[in-house]
A and B are shown apart, each in its own frame.
Chain A
Amino acid sequence: MSVAIERIGFDVERIRADFPILAERVHGRKLVFLDSAASAQKPRAVIDAMVRTMETRYANVHRGLHWMSERCSDDYEGARDKVAAFLNAAREEIVFVRNATEAINLVAHSYGRTVLQPGDAVVVSEMEHHANLVPWQMLRDSHGIELRIAKITEAGELDFHDLERNFADGRVRLLAITHMSNVLGTYTPVERLAAFAHAYGARILLDGAQAAVHRAVDVRAIDADFYVFSGHKLYGPSGIGVLYGKRELLEAMPPFLGGGDMIRSVSYEKSSWAEPPYRFEAGTPAIIETIGLGAAIDYVNAIGFEAIAAHERSLTDHALAVLSDIDGLHVLGRAQDRGGVVAFTLDGVHAHDVATLLDKQGIAVRAGHHCAEPLTRRLGQDSTARASFGVYTTHGEIDALVSGLRRVKQVFG
């Protein structure tokens, strides 16, 4: 594996040098940051793009006739072009929101309350993040749709038989499903799922909050109707996320939030709406953050997803191998196709104690239900510990995790 990585020129030490925070020490130890799935660290290029905007090219966008506003609007709209290219979409199909959560809520409100009718069904899976479950529960309770939960197999993959059962009565109008589970690491077969949903006359929304960080995403090749992700997990700033929607879907959708910038014309009596994507961007947008996201996309593109995916596969394989050597450690999920996220339990030690004791050694992992409480319970747990990897993660850090866990076991001995 490492040969393959070298071949495509992946130099993890050079990458690490791009992330200032990785030089920090925690409790006197070198920081080993294994919590990138919650939010990734930011490279110098992203920080610089934001600083440059604030220091040299900042003003409110779109309506300004002066130099600063024009330059800042160019940068902001330039980021939209970058995101469009990143997903292989058209720029009119890219709506900027705060995060993946807001993107799903936007679809639930705007598409959900107009195209979906009371009695129609929405299907999600057992392995959704709360962001792709709670908005549909809220839509169910306010709008009378039915919400169905497609099962996963014991391996932690989607159960296609159960999916078929859920679709059998022809009432499903939307399949809203993760592209990669933030607990099990499972990738879902999105092309197949899109074809499946479309064959039943349903639309598909993909929660790419995790997947978009690790793999090249081509919404046209997938034939996704909606795709969402968050900037902060993709080495970009917080406060910026993306909703992709097929042009004809966005065009037919009413606005979600009302205010400046999303209108065509306003009178006291009545307003008419701008075209997508502006129809869905009310008020002053997250200008600096959007430009930062553009820089993040440039950054990952410069490394290249082939290299990123190979690096993360190698890390994950290594982690699964060395963690399985620890007595009493159980990894959740054993999907064939999985990404750089490993959740586990340790017999006799609560996940919180694992996380705290690792932190004392400078190792940052997450513990809890990872905003997937029903899945965690479905797996028979209250909470689990989770290590997750980014472009800057090294094999040595995974070995540090293993030593750290042995130390935890000693304390609990």
Chain B
Amino acid sequence: MPKLNMVSAINQALDQEMSRNGRMLVLGEDVGREGGVFRVTDGLQAKYGPARVVDTPLAESAIVGVSLGLAAGGMLPVAEIQFEGFLYVAMDQLLNQLARYRTRSQGRFDLGVVVRVPWGGGIHAPEMHSDSPETVLVHTPGLTVVEPSNPFDAKGLMLSALRLGEPVVFCEPKRIYRAVKMDVPEEDYTVPIGKAKTVAEGTDLTIVAWGAMVREAMNSRKELESLGYSAEVIDLRTLSPMDSPAVIESVRKTGRLIITHEAPRTLGLGAEIAARVAEEALTSLLAPIERVTGFDTFMPLGLLEEHYLPNAGRITAAAKKALGVERIAA
């Protein structure tokens, strides 16, 4: 089976679906000739022509708003926003328009639009190129939000997203775009949207992560293993709708929960996960829930970035804290 990194896996998904679906269109800044600043759409314009792979003027609000219109007209637009920091200028089109359009039109317009966005920190980029604003999207009803943590899921989730027939924001953890290669079947397959995945089983505590943080969680799991503890690691994969039942089931088993994400702590997704667990599995908790996250400050420029981003060491430290706490209930 061919070994692909995440860039190639997503590229393959786009390519394959585009050849199958004549209604599909790729648009955004520099997605054509340049193949995207991360090369995710590389080769598509050469193959499908500039009418279907479109370099647009520099205007994110327009990219999303025009995509809405394209979908209303029966096309399947796949829009790229070059970096997550530039989603903010498109917020109205994304949250007030695209997400609400099904409701506004009383179910008439199911808008299949996929908005691809390189996501998160870790590449020593300038300001506004390293954030993780998933909270804003997940808080908004109507949007589906996914973030793969590996090439296999990336292809499968992308194919699911392209066929969902609803607006999807596809967050691509840019830090691990080329970090690993893995077996990615050439064939058509999908990874279901809305389902988390237990990437490693364990009994003593649960670590919830997604995107680039899954790797950190797995590294922490190894550290904990060497200390004699068994961590279960859950990769959320879909951020909205969130598979909280999977998390709750795991916490019922392990009794301890660590959530890790790059976004600032306050109202990061960890807050919602903690709240749902506190609603539905309070009596299972053997220790306070720990959030290992970005801080409630701005992601610093390159030289300090590593100190902002949570890592295996910080996850392990939190895990030790949780494990050291006495049982508070049977």
**A and B are interacting partners:** no
